[in-house]
Amino acid sequence: MATPLTADRLLKALKDEGLTVVQVGDWRTHNRNHKGPWGPVNGVMIHHTVTRGTAHTVELCRAGHSTLPGPLCHGVIAKDGRVHLVGHGRTNHAGLGDNDVLQAVIAERTLPADNETSVDGNRHFYGFECVNLGDGKDPWPAAQLLAIEQVSAAICRAHGWSQRSVIGHKEWQPGKVDPRGFKMDSMRGRIGKRLGAKPPPAKPKPPTTPRYEPFPGAAFFKAGRRSAVITAMGKRLVAEGCGRYAVGPGSAWSEADRKSYAAWQRKLGYSGTAADGIPGKSSWDRLKVPTV
């Protein structure tokens, strides 16, 4: 058993597992907590929706209906594998179920047959509804099955649970048939394999190419010229050990800038009039003044 994940931790866990997550409205505070406690949590429960269409299903699961107010789950898993978060906290998804099943989930052992309705499942399980008609004919796309695997593994990983903490609604409440179309033992096998591997690495950020100020021309450098480029140049000259500033560098071209640049030219091997402190293209390109 465990304290429920915060909304931020749940979102991070799902994204870290590689899922595409859609945050729907006020999902972080949309719940049924006024009807009873949520937690301690013990597992993840998978359902099918008996509906068609992502948009319609997400809205139904978010709002509920006249006989069962929403949210009806924590997330909706669409056929394309996207996970739409619609609630966080207590949700109307599990109903009453078998205490022997709950104890087996807590102990992470083989599930017994469900034959009673004595325990409040809404308190103890995260719930995910999967878009499917549940008629045994509506297909389960590979992307959707993968998302069920990833969602379950993400929450189990966050809590330190094994795949035996994941059950179907049909394994919890007598008379239920969902999810229909795949076997929960097979799905638990997939989840177990995923949990046995390291979590997928974060996608590396693309390398950034440094960008430098192009040479603005020798005429740019005249007394009184003010520019952020001159300040950036002065900082580079200081970094190269060529700064000849009492204070600064500043944004206005000054004699201190000229003397500093002359020191840079001499450092590069220039002498005489070639080291007069007025930038030329060759020495400027080698200074690599960052773009401002």
Q: Please indicate, yes or no, if residue 206 is contained in any of the structural domains.
A: no
153 plus 224 within the same structural domain = no
Residue where a domain stops, chosen among 162, 196, 230: 196
204 occurs within a structural domain? no
Same domain, 182 and 70: yes
Q: Give the chain's end-to-end CA distance (angstroms, integer).
A: 54
Helix axes 142-159, 7-16, angle to 10 degrees: 130
Kindly indicate the confidence band of residue 3, based on its pLDDT and cuts at 50, 70 and 90.
Answer: very high
Burial class (CB in 10 A: 0-12, 13-18, 19+), 158: middle
Same domain, 116 and 14: yes
Question: Given pLDDT bands bounded at 50, 70 and 90, which one contains residue 1?
Answer: low
Q: What is the pLDDT of residue 207?
A: 81
Query: Over the Cα atoms of the chain, what is R_g?
Result: 31
Binned at pLDDT 50, 70 and 90, residue 292 comes out as confident
* Cα 18 → chain centroid: 8
- For residues 120 and 263, state if they share a domain: no
Nearest by Cα to 97 from 112, 82, 80, 86: 112
Residue 232 token pair? 């950036």
Judgement on whether residues 191 and 78 belong to the same structural domain of the protein = yes
Tens-place pLDDT, residues 220-246: 999 889 999 999 999 999 999 999 999
Mean of pLDDT values over 28-49: 97
Residue 206's pLDDT band, with cuts at 50, 70 and 90, is confident
Q: Are residues 25 and 151 in the same domain?
A: yes
Residues spanned by the domain of 281: 218-287
Paired tokens of 79: 């056929």
Please report where in the chains the tokens 């401002």 appear, as a residue: 292
pLDDT at 203 over 80: no
How many other C-beta atoms are found inside a 10 Å radius of the C-beta of residue 51? 17
Distance separating alpha carbons of residues 154 and 104, to the nearest angstrom: 21
Element (H, E) at 266: helix 255-267
C-alpha to C-alpha distance for 59 and 61, rounded to whole angstroms:
5
Same domain, 72 and 179: yes
| CA pair distance 193, 210, nearest whole angstrom | 42
Assigned domain for 185 exists: yes
Same domain, 180 and 283: no
Among the listed residues 9, 6, 98, the one whose alpha carbon sits nearest the alpha carbon of residue 45 = 98
Average pLDDT of the chain, as a whole number = 95
Question: What band does 18 get if pLDDT is binned at 50, 70 and 90?
Answer: very high
Residue 200 has pLDDT above 70, yes or no: no
Instruction: Quick: pLDDT tens for 153-196.
Output: 999 999 999 999 999 999 999 999 999 999 999 999 999 999 99
44, pLDDT greater than 60 = yes
How many domains does one find in the chain?
Answer: 2
